[in-house]
Amino acid sequence: MKRYFRHIILTLASLQLLSCSDFLEVDTLGKVTIPNLFSDVDGMRSAVAGMYSKTFDYYSSEFYEYPEVAGNMVDIRSVTSSPSMLFQYNFTSAPDQEVGAVGYVWRKILVALANTNNIIQYQPGLLKEYPAYANELNRIKAEALFIRALSHFDLCRAYAQPYFYTPDASHLGVPVLKITPSPVEEISRGTVKQVYDLVKADLLEAEQLFGTTAMQDAYHASGKSVQALLSRVYLYTREWDKVVQYSTSVINSSELAQGNDYLAMFNGLIAGKEAIFRLNGRLKAKTLAQFYSVEDPVAIAADTLLKLFDDNTDIRLRLFDELPKEKNKYSTAKFKIKIDYELIEERYDPIVLRVSEMYLNRAEAYLNMNEPDKAIADLKVIMARALGKTVGEITINTTDKAAIAALIEKERAKELCFEGHNFFDITRQGKNLVRGAGTNSDVKFMAYPSDYFVLPIPQTELDANPKMVGNPTVNK
């Protein structure tokens, strides 16, 4: 980890506060030192902008794509020209792939974490020196705690086996980083339980700090985004009562987007009514729009996904576009702007949390709490919106738990496709990876558990840090 943290620390020491896009992206050292940056509230505000910028960097690229191509609802269109994410599609990721998903996901999340930890570290001093800004500084700390929790959670999902891989989650996770280590400090991996304990603690502290403060907008962390992430984290740890508690808190204070408002959330350069947390891509990389390009996409909808849509009135079908020269092949339009816009306005904002997920999380929790009627009620809300009907017009004629579980899985796939969920949903539930017959991947089936269900730790990290341990098989 020396190499990565040396790079991160030197980068942080070379800040130029010219604009948000310049933050953390310069090469010349000595412009602004970290202590100087955090010497006043304006510096802290700039650091917060950088924190969101770096979180966007990993969500707008490999991390968001990985759980889709490694899953069973997306196909890489051509495997003859070594496109991006091909190694992850075929489960041939290697530790020396520093300029691909293996190295980039690790490095980009660590950069975001280093920036976030500095905000948390310097906030108490500023709070003491500038008591008149206490409300703002406490909100900033809450935002940073949310991002630190999200970063640890995401790093763990990519490089560690899911929570119940061992009964007590004692298997290797990722480093637990409450402060940014020095360039010479050797850091080891915590257990998955230790990682999740930090994630929960950070989110619960953030929830207290946010208190009753109203949500600013979807592009900043808020009390609502904290509750939404807690819903997801508890889903992964199967603490069903808490999934219900936090999902319900979000649902009761939110609304689902309906009709054209639903489509505009993806295609209209707006955050969207049901967005809880998403990242602003203004003047930033357009990687997702290229990866899922309508004209020449790397990744397209797999047959397994398209076959789930058994009603052609489903509004979600309007978020697919048939490829111009390939019949019955469809790209996602979730990263396509369908309104008139100026080039300066063009941006692609990855969604991290939205209200639809809360209904699906709660349905899964209710089912596991032996309350299938409540699970069905939540499913009906999502299905009614998709079909432009009232909840009362939706009929689900089953009380069988396995059948309801299959319906929840089906609705999650249709609703959250291309939003970074699919493979993580498979692994957290301990399911086998089963791909459709039409896939052109070398891997059609992989039984759970598998050593290949995680990315290898980057080799450069292992070489630089004797305390860092690789993952079985994939790091050999």
Under a CB-based contact definition with an 8 Å cutoff, are residues 54 and 111 in contact?
yes
What is the enclosing helix (H) or strand (E) of 202? helix 192-210
Residue 20: predicted pLDDT? 35
Q: Where are the alpha helices (DSSP H) in 269-371?
A: 287-291, 303-306, 355-368
Using pLDDT thresholds of 50, 70 and 90, give the confidence band for residue 156: very high
3-state class of 443 per DSSP? Answer: coil
Using pLDDT thresholds of 50, 70 and 90, give the confidence band for residue 23: very low
Strands (E), 180-333: 275-278, 299-301, 320-322, 330-332
Give the global pTM: 0.94
Residue 19: predicted pLDDT? 34
Of the candidates 245, 217, 219, 221, the one whose C-alpha atom is nearest the C-alpha of residue 233 is: 245
Mean pLDDT of 279-283: 96
Using pLDDT thresholds of 50, 70 and 90, give the confidence band for residue 8: low
Q: What is the DSSP string of 129-194?
A: H-GGGHHHHHHHHHHHHHHHHHHHHHHHHHHS--GGGSTTS-SB-----SSPPPTT------BHHH
Say if residue 219's pLDDT is above 50: yes
What CATH code is assigned to 1-78+85-213? 1.25.40.390
Percentage of the residues of the chain whose pLDDT score is greater than 70: 93
CA distance 417 to 301: 9
* Residue intervals in the chain for CATH 1.25.40.390: 1-78+85-213
Residue 82: predicted pLDDT? 79
CA distance 161 to 449: 9
Using pLDDT thresholds of 50, 70 and 90, give the confidence band for residue 358: very high
Using pLDDT thresholds of 50, 70 and 90, give the confidence band for residue 25: very low
Under a CB-based contact definition with an 8 Å cutoff, are residues 436 and 304 in contact?
yes
Residue 26: predicted pLDDT? 28
Of the candidates 171, 175, 156, the one whose C-alpha atom is nearest the C-alpha of residue 233 is: 156
